Amino acid sequence: MREIAPSPSTDNLTLDPQDWSTIRRLAHQALDEVLDFQSDVRNRPVWREMPANSLALMDEAAPRQGLGSERVVDDMLQHIIPYPTGHAHPRFWGWVCGTGTPIGMVADMVAAGVNASAGTFNDAPSRVEAQLIGWMRDLFDFPSTASGIVTSGASVANLIGLAVGRDALIGESVRTRGLTATKGVPIVYTSNQVHSSVDKAMMLLGLGLENLRKVAVDDNFCLDLQALQNAIDEDRRNGLRPIAIVGNAGTVNTGAIDDLAALAALARREGLWFHVDGAIGALAAMSPDLRARMRGIESADSLAFDFHKWLYVPYEAGCVLIRNGAMHRRSFSVAATYLETPPRGIAAQPDSSYLRGPQLSRGFKALKVWAQIREYGIEHLGRLHDQNVAQIQHLSRLIAAEPRLEQTAPSPLNILCFRYIPETIPPESWDAINGELLMRLQERGIAAPSSTRIHGDFVLRVANTNHRSRFEDFDLLVRETVRIGREIEGEAALKTA
Ligand SMILES: Cc1ncc(COP(=O)(O)O)c(C=O)c1O
């Protein structure tokens, strides 16, 4: 037989280390470092600006020659681990950010370690995700025929829920001919407190921002049912085509929970799809005390929620449930010869996740959620929800007792908005004073609320999805807010003197 000489480029290159002991040592060192970070996080500043030498690293061009694992791990220890957003800290309450957990980190490490791609194949990752979806179906009293998928977060969960709703209401033609085939412009209804991810879904689904009716809310920031009915009636009179209602199980600004049972009934009466954005509040269904507030969620046609918010799992993981599993699959099923499902072997996965969402390849996000629920159980997680709500009520009482602070909206769940009321500065400057106060709280590493506007006023916003917060952390927040508020007032008085 003629000998074939190896070509110069086939010298068995690999990305595996030649010496596994080095990477083993470095991996253990990195693991120890992040565990130290987590166990000691209370003693660190909530957040700090990156120093110049760390920022300079991010300006370097991609190296032509590799730097080696020692150098790369050392860079992570020096320049990455000390400068996160701060979500893990007990006084991080900005936006709606979960804290993360040690078991979630271990699960992510395992998922990356075996380089799992979840949902598509006949393997353990797909079964774990299927089990998790089943647990969520049970939690929210969805029927056994309901389906679901783990997503990157609630933005994509909202997108998927509304995509199925659009297809179900407009019909098969939308898949083949797009929205050009529809008779009457499709309209979606929600409250004016809705999260921007629903705006994005309207744009991405070709429905158009103008066709999202943001209906007025009542004094508790809950969707006004009469205003909603009026909007639907008016649109029908004008020849438009109502297709869906989006209810909020916890609004982003104040945590308001719409009357989901009433919205479900209205949607049924009007023949509309009922989607619930439960990114913030839905998982409070784990608490026997809070569960009643979500009444009606079990009637949703689609339900979006987030594990990386109020289940505290590390980023990223959300979920969407669809009541009618067949409709769900119809929206995302496309034929591809290279993805046929055989009766046996690796690809024998009849319910592949690629038939339930826009992604084909997906990371194994379900593992950290599954691991965390198994480690702690639903009851313990529900008790943490109770604790977070009780802490917000404690904060509300502290604010009521402090003359320089004002709570600016009801706090029905785990979110509270408030502001500093200066003694000596006129109201037209209060927004600027509160903006400065917020930046000082963050920049000094004391606490991290974020901000929003309530009735047009700039306010500080505390969203408590933090399993590390203690009641005394809220005492400290109030004390420091008043101290810094007085400091800013003092500086303003000096300037005008
Ligand atoms: C009510 C609500 N819906 C949706 C989202 C989007 O969620 P995610 O950031 O997980 O995509 C958020 C995020 O804060 C939210 O508060």
Query: How many angstroms separate the CA atoms of 150 and 448, rounded?
Result: 29
Beta pairing, strands 405-407 & 415-420: antiparallel
Instruction: Provide the pLDDT for residue 119.
Output: 87
Q: Among 460, 152, 129, 478, which residue's Cα sits nearest to residue 309?
A: 152
Residues with CB under 6 A from ligand 1: 95-96, 153-155, 195, 197, 252, 277, 279-280, 306, 318
| Ligand 1 probe mutation, 97, 197, 297, most atoms within 8 A of CB | 197
- Tens place of pLDDT per residue across the chain (497 aa): 667 665 656 678 999 998 999 999 999 999 999 999 999 999 999 999 999 999 999 999 999 999 999 999 999 999 999 999 999 999 999 999 999 999 999 999 999 999 999 888 999 999 999 999 999 999 999 999 999 999 999 999 999 999 999 999 999 889 889 988 788 999 999 999 999 999 999 999 999 999 999 999 999 999 999 999 999 999 999 999 999 999 999 999 999 999 999 999 999 999 999 999 999 999 999 999 999 999 999 999 999 999 999 999 999 999 999 999 999 999 999 989 999 999 999 999 889 999 999 999 999 999 999 999 999 999 999 999 999 999 999 999 999 999 999 999 999 999 999 999 999 999 999 999 999 999 999 999 999 999 999 999 999 999 999 999 999 999 999 999 999 999 999 998 888 87
Nearest 5°: the CA angle 213, 215, 218 is 170
| Ligand 1 probe mutation, 85, 87, 155, most atoms within 8 A of CB | 155
Instruction: Provide the pLDDT for residue 182.
Output: 81
- pTM of the full predicted structure? 0.96
- C-alpha distances (whole Å) from 224 to each of 192, 221, 260 are 10, 9, 12
Residue 205 Cα, ligand 1 centroid: separation in angstroms? 18
Residue 342 Cα, ligand 1 centroid: separation in angstroms? 38
